Amino acid sequence: MSFWKEENAKEAADFYSNEATLYDDDGGLVVVGKEDIEDYLSTTFQLAQERGHPELKLIEYDFEIDVEHAVVRGTYHWPKMHSGRYTLKWRYEQKDWKIVEHYFTIEAEPISSLE
């Protein structure tokens, strides 16, 4: 995940299908489509830069594979940003695996850890 460490929104967005959807922890729609996801990631990476480039850490994860999809679930910690859970639903499209649905929770960091 060097694109995440390098905070490269365009490269990160390339993992998403053109019709991918990003959902918040309530299952509410955040953004739809690769271009809007790239914009969302760009804003998120900008905030990370302002907070000193903290490294995203995947704490645990597991995955399931069926005929049409691969699903990855786990937890993460992003110091000075937030922690939470995520689910990525991947589908094989045009000779490559792409994220079609991305669910996440945000458990805010205490104010003292953001400084």
DSSP 50-65: HTT-PPPEEEEEEEEE
CB proximity list for 63: less than 8 A, separation 6 or greater: 70, 71, 72, 73
Q: CATH for 2-114, among 3.40.50.300, 3.10.450.50, 3.30.70.380, 3.20.20.70?
A: 3.10.450.50
* Reported pTM: 0.81
Q: Judge contact between 76 and 58, C-beta under 8 A.
A: yes
Give residue limits of the domains in the chain. 2-114
**Tens of pLDDT along 11-50?**
999 999 999 999 987 667 789 999 999 999 999 888 888 8
**What is the rounded CA–CA span in Å between residue 43 and residue 47?**
6
Q: Judge contact between 13 and 41, C-beta under 8 A.
A: yes
**Tens of pLDDT along 58-110?**
888 899 998 889 999 998 888 787 788 889 999 999 889 999 999 988 776 65
**What is the rounded CA–CA span in Å between residue 27 and residue 51?**
27
